[in-house]
């Protein structure tokens, strides 16, 4: 049984979770940088405990179309991992990866081809894989992730999936948000790690807390 309450999380535990986000996102950003063969910087991750009604504001409004790639986690850590990008960031990444001739082309609709969708899904896969493997070696726990599940829709609608998982354990969602981008053009990405309550305890225990 778990004795962790998200509302009563200590500063120490908060810092540890932030550090997990830092290490995870750092590795993920490195992976992305190697994939695209260009320099990608990341900002300091933000760890937020948000109420559900505030949740969709972090990505610029509930109605904003975004690409969401979701993984379910198993073994020592149960839960979900979500990687979210806005449409222009996704378009930019796909163009860079596929070497499209008009890298400035930014489309606000869902105008991705089959190949581009597959590339996006692979970007998500590599980034999430890097995030999770660093988390795994840090905590010495086995984490297996599912294949990437992708959806292109309103941010609020996509966020409802992990929000519902949080809804089962409390009235707030814990979110680790990291922004990354190259020098010329910032592209926004959000990593959301959603362990179950028991897995939070397991993570903290594995680090001796």
Residue with Cβ nearer other proteins (36 or 58): 58
The residue within the footprint of other proteins, chosen from 125, 160, 198, 201 (CB under 8 A), is 160
Residue with Cβ nearer other proteins (40 or 159): 159
Residue with Cβ nearer other proteins (51 or 104): 51
Does 60 participate in binding other proteins (rule CB under 8 A)?
no
Beta strands in 96-188 (DSSP E): 143-145, 149-154, 172-177, 180-181, 186-187
In angstroms, what is the minimal distance from the CB of 188 to other proteins? 18
The residue within the footprint of other proteins, chosen from 40, 77, 89, 169 (CB under 8 A), is 169
- CA distances (Å), origin 162, targets 150, 172, 179: 13, 11, 19
> In angstroms, rounded to a whole number, what is the distance separating the alpha carbons of residues 102 and 100?
6
**Maximum alpha-carbon separation in the chain:** 55
Those residues whose C-beta lies under 8 Å from the C-beta of residue 106, and which sit 6 or more positions away, are 87, 88, 91, 92
Residue with Cβ nearer other proteins (73 or 203): 73
For residue 140, give the H/E element and its range: none
Pairing relationship of beta strands 143-145 and 65-75 according to DSSP bridges = antiparallel
Does 198 participate in binding other proteins (rule CB under 8 A)?
no
Does 156 participate in binding other proteins (rule CB under 8 A)?
yes
Q: Give contact residues for other proteins (rule: CB under 8 A).
A: 51-56, 61-63, 65, 68, 70, 72, 109-110, 149-161, 163-165, 167-171
């Amino acid at each position: 049984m778990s004795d962790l309450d998200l509302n009563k999380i200590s500063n120490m535990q908060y810092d540890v979770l932030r550090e997990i986000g830092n290490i995870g996102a750092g590795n993920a950003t490195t992976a992305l940088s190697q994939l695209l063969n260009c320099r990608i910087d990341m900002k300091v991750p933000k760890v937020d405990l948000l109420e559900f009604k505030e949740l969709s504001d972090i990505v610029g409004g509930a109605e904003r179309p975004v690409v969401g790639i979701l993984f379910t986690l198993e073994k020592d850590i149960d839960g979900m991992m979500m990687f979210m990008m806005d449409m222009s960031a996704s378009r930019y990444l796909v163009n860079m990866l596929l070497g499209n001739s008009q890298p400035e082309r930014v489309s606000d609709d869902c105008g991705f081809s089959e190949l581009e969708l597959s590339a996006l899904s692979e970007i998500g896969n590599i980034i999430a894989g890097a995030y999770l493997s660093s988390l795994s070696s840090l905590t010495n726990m086995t984490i297996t992730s599912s294949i990437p599940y992708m959806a292109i829709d309103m941010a609020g609608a996509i966020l409802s999936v992990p929000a519902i998982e949080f809804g089962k354990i409390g009235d707030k969602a814990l979110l680790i948000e990291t922004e990354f981008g190259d020098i010329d053009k910032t592209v926004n990405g959000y990593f959301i790690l959603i362990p179950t309550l028991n897995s939070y305890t397991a993570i903290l225990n594995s680090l001796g807390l």
